[in-house]
Structure 1
Amino acid sequence: MQPGSHLDKVIDSALARQRIVGAVVLVARDGEIVYRRAAGSADREHGVPMRGDAVFRLASFTKPLVATAALKLADDETIDLAAPVTDWLPAFRPRLPDGIAPAITLQHLLTHTAGLSYGFLETADGPYRRARVSDGLDQPGLSLDENLARIASAPLAYPPGTGWRYSVATDVLGAVLEKAAGMALPLVVQREVTGPLRMRDTAFHVVDDSRLAVPYRDAKPAAPVRMGSEEAVPFIEGAAHFAPGRILDAASYPSGGSGMAGTADDFMRFLLSLRTSNRAILRAAEVDRTGTGAMTQGPGWGFGYLGAVLGHPKEAHSPQSAGTLQWGGAYGHSWFFDPVADLAVVQLTNTAFEGMAGAFPRDVRNAAYRDFPLRAF
């Protein structure tokens, strides 16, 4: 079989079964692109095919870029990861249910151990929903200061450092970076990450929408449905609220957790930088390789600064090596970097949530290892 044949079958099957509408998949081995494919539709209703340079709303692909900017500012001593958030945001003092406002550090924010939450993880009457906290995907035009106030008004889920919960922590981190660097978060990320890596199509705002992929939502067992101006997609106990037009609204605050848009090629540049120019970032990112801490993606997985960290491949039933970093994006994306196999995969779809949490990312992962198996030494 030709290299990439298993990946082609996975992509073709997902499209034929209408699990996804369109996708761009890139695979790099030893720092070189060995597989590239754009398939399906960028706009199904208007017959626009997916293209390799399509721009996607990145959602949580934003997090590792902002985390990398933070680690670089820590490296030059602009910030101290052990310092409390209140050093930069004095008014940000969320409290526990008993009224105590414990110290939250930047380390807590980076590792999602601050006691914060996400509205999409809650039921409709959860504290973040009652406070109208934005998850960074909705409420176009909302200011960062207002959202920080809403976050601080909701009770902490647990004392900082005593648990793990995926959260708006990276949005708060973005606000800290703005204060510490004396410039808006988009400029911080451009200076520290996207600029040096020549990620020219990755930013917090899209001006030209001609390459912007249309987003769709699962409607299983029926075909995915095109998202409207506001969309609530069921997820776990609650629902994720999307406003696709947010990325076109310059007044929307730059969400450090989910506010950027970009291309597969750009994000692959970032992953490949972990091999060379950002190698120290990779080492720092492996905070919890044991998988005994935060079970972020099931047994065997822990969490680091850039995403989930695989500690025990057998427990995870994964072909990936220990130390693999992985995460996704709510609009339908997944990425991983296996530093042992030197294998990186970027998979962007325009279908939530199949492209992030359905069978598709697992099938792409498995096919990548079949098409490009580990070498014997």
Structure 2
Amino acid sequence: MSLPLENSAYRSGSLAEGVDAAIDSALADERLVGAVVLIARDGELVYGRAAGLADRENEVVMREDAIFRLASITKPIVAIAAMRLVEQGRIGLDDPKWLPDFRPRLPDGGEAVIRIRHLLTHTSGLSYTFADEQDGPYHRAGVSDGLDIPGRSLADNLTRLASAPLLFPPGEAWHYSLAMDVLGGIIEKETGGALGDAVADLVMKPLGLFDTAFSVRDRSRLAVAYVNGASGLQPMGDEALVPILDGMIRFAPDRIFNPGSYHSGGAGMAGTAGDILAILETVRKGGAPLLSADTVKTMMADQAGGHMQTLQAGFGFGYGWSVVTDAVAAQAPFSKGTIKWGGVYGHSWFVDSEKKLTVVALTNTAFEGMWGQFTIDLRDAIYAAL
């Protein structure tokens, strides 16, 4: 799905005014450097805009086919790849099919059985280093979150990850984690190649998409990564350590250029807004040619046993994304069954199937583009115009 002109907009009806205002306000207030926002309704692109700058220091304007480091937008793509393997009978959601050297223990030292469904739903008991205490086991083991430590191999990272105890027995709680990186290792074992090759074969090529991968096809189109800091918007540079919730997250934006960096199933891809819209629209329409309608229905239902409710009212977690289970409790205009997530480099997206609506907002600014006021203003402007 392409837009007519670079750094301009495709607009339809009253939707444009509110969405433009949300984008313009974030740019004027210097909460965002640049963004590409695409909105599809009933299969038609009703709004598209590339705004702001892809590279502020060199005055490079944002363009519709800009490539962004995707961070956790990688997760739904890898989840789709995994579910294709499930449909093909090559892996099973409840199989104890496992990586032989990856056997993290329970907090009491006992053995644990982590199933693929636990990885897909973040109910495995794993965590992230950024969520660990500064002297906690993940920090002591030097675990990478898939965003840092260029050149780290998957085998090395899984060995470090397995040395840390699980937070809880698999299936008994929800905690955001490196589970999708582990799943990436399982996909590699099953397919016999790199995760990027599997994702290309299972997801990208069937949809005719070539810009979204674990590498950057055209560096001239890659947006510079920025961060909202105390001194204003700053480029991340080679490395950035940024406060997030009660911890710190470490970015190494050029990790993706190092061929030794493992393909992080939870954070390692780069791609375009158009590609992400095409993938999400495929899901909204029922999954073909990637997945069956029954599989998509399963993925879009809460599969976390209600455990996410204790952390975020009105939400559950499916296979690869959060799911609105109670719009009133969620205190948001989404329809029940809406799926959504984002990425720490500055992205958000949602699919409201009841309203036949798919929204992708990729920005080059962490964390405003993921959970800042911009995301709220954008969401509210869209629903106000429906």
Q: Normalization by structure 1: what TM-score?
A: 0.95
- Contact kept in structure 1, 2:174 and 2:304, CA below 8 Å: no
Query: How far did 1:286 drift?
Result: 2.5
For residue 333 of structure 1, what is the aligned residue in structure 2? 347
For residue 127 of structure 1, what is the aligned residue in structure 2? 137
Q: For 2:123 and 2:104, locate their aligned partners in 1 and report how far apart those are by CA, in whole Å.
A: 14
Q: For 1:215 and 1:323, locate their aligned partners in 2 and report how far apart those are by CA, in whole Å.
A: 32
- Contact kept in structure 2, 1:296 and 1:302, CA below 8 Å: no
- Is 2:350 the counterpart of 1:350? no
Q: For 1:313 and 1:289, locate their aligned partners in 2 and report how far apart those are by CA, in whole Å.
A: 17
Q: For 1:166 and 1:231, locate their aligned partners in 2 and report how far apart those are by CA, in whole Å.
A: 21
Q: For 1:49 and 1:297, locate their aligned partners in 2 and report how far apart those are by CA, in whole Å.
A: 39
Letter in 1 for 2:83: L
Query: How far did 1:19 drift?
Result: 0.7
- Number of residue pairs matched? 369
Letter in 2 for 1:318: A
CA shift digits 1:67-104 (9 cap, x unpaired): 011111001100011012xx341111101222112111
Q: 1:304 aligns with which of 303, 306, 318?
A: 318
For residue 41 of structure 2, what is the aligned residue in structure 1? 29
| Distance change (3 Å), C-alpha of 1:360 and 1:173 | same
Query: How far did 1:291 drift?
Result: 8.8
- Contact kept in structure 2, 1:290 and 1:311, CA below 8 Å: no
Letter in 1 for 2:112: P
- Is 2:270 the counterpart of 1:261? yes
For residue 150 of structure 2, what is the aligned residue in structure 1? 140
3-state DSSP of counterpart to 1:4? helix
- Contact kept in structure 2, 1:23 and 1:40, CA below 8 Å: yes
Trace 1:195-214 onto structure 2 (pairs within 5 A). Answer: 195-214=205-224
For residue 257 of structure 2, what is the aligned residue in structure 1? 248
Query: How far did 1:250 drift?
Result: 1.4
For residue 12 of structure 1, what is the aligned residue in structure 2? 24
Q: For 2:325 and 2:53, locate their aligned partners in 1 and report how far apart those are by CA, in whole Å.
A: 36
Query: How far did 1:56 drift?
Result: 0.1
- Contact kept in structure 1, 2:335 and 2:352, CA below 8 Å: yes
User: What is the alpha-carbon root mean square deviation over aligned residues?
Assistant: 1.5
3-state DSSP of counterpart to 2:173? coil
Q: 1:3 aligns with which of 2, 9, 15?
A: 15
- Is 2:168 the counterpart of 1:158? yes
3-state DSSP of counterpart to 1:148? helix
Trace 1:39-78 onto structure 2 (pairs within 5 A). Answer: 39-78=51-90
For residue 323 of structure 1, what is the aligned residue in structure 2? 337
Query: How far did 1:173 drift?
Result: 0.2
Q: For 1:241 and 1:295, locate their aligned partners in 2 and report how far apart those are by CA, in whole Å.
A: 28
Q: 1:83 aligns with which of 87, 90, 95?
A: 95
Letter in 2 for 1:249: N
Query: How far did 1:251 drift?
Result: 1.2
3-state DSSP of counterpart to 2:53? strand
For residue 113 of structure 1, what is the aligned residue in structure 2? 123
Q: Normalization by structure 2: what TM-score?
A: 0.93
- Contact kept in structure 2, 1:59 and 1:331, CA below 8 Å: yes
| Distance change (3 Å), C-alpha of 1:281 and 1:355 | farther
Query: How far did 1:288 drift?
Result: 1.2
Letter in 2 for 1:261: A
CA shift digits 1:266-299 (9 cap, x unpaired): 0000011011414444312133189943138721
CA shift digits 1:208-266 (9 cap, x unpaired): 3100000001114x421111211111001111110000111111100000000000000
Q: For 1:320 and 1:259, locate their aligned partners in 2 and report how far apart those are by CA, in whole Å.
A: 29
| Distance change (3 Å), C-alpha of 1:59 and 1:251 | same
What percent identity do the matched residue pairs reach? 53
**Please, which runs of 5 or more residues in structure 2 have no aligned partner?**
1-12
3-state DSSP of counterpart to 1:294? helix
Q: For 2:219 and 2:88, locate their aligned partners in 1 and report how far apart those are by CA, in whole Å.
A: 36
- Contact kept in structure 1, 2:33 and 2:364, CA below 8 Å: yes
- Contact kept in structure 2, 1:41 and 1:48, CA below 8 Å: yes
Q: For 1:16 and 1:174, locate their aligned partners in 2 and report how far apart those are by CA, in whole Å.
A: 40
CA shift digits 1:292-341 (9 cap, x unpaired): 43138721011110211001111111111000000000100001000100
Q: For 2:117 and 2:304, locate their aligned partners in 1 and report how far apart those are by CA, in whole Å.
A: 18
- Contact kept in structure 2, 1:58 and 1:329, CA below 8 Å: yes
Letter in 2 for 1:347: A
3-state DSSP of counterpart to 1:344? strand
- Contact kept in structure 2, 1:108 and 1:160, CA below 8 Å: yes
| Distance change (3 Å), C-alpha of 1:148 and 1:197 | same
| Distance change (3 Å), C-alpha of 1:310 and 1:290 | farther
Q: For 2:29 and 2:294, locate their aligned partners in 1 and report how far apart those are by CA, in whole Å.
A: 42
Q: For 1:257 and 1:360, locate their aligned partners in 2 and report how far apart those are by CA, in whole Å.
A: 24
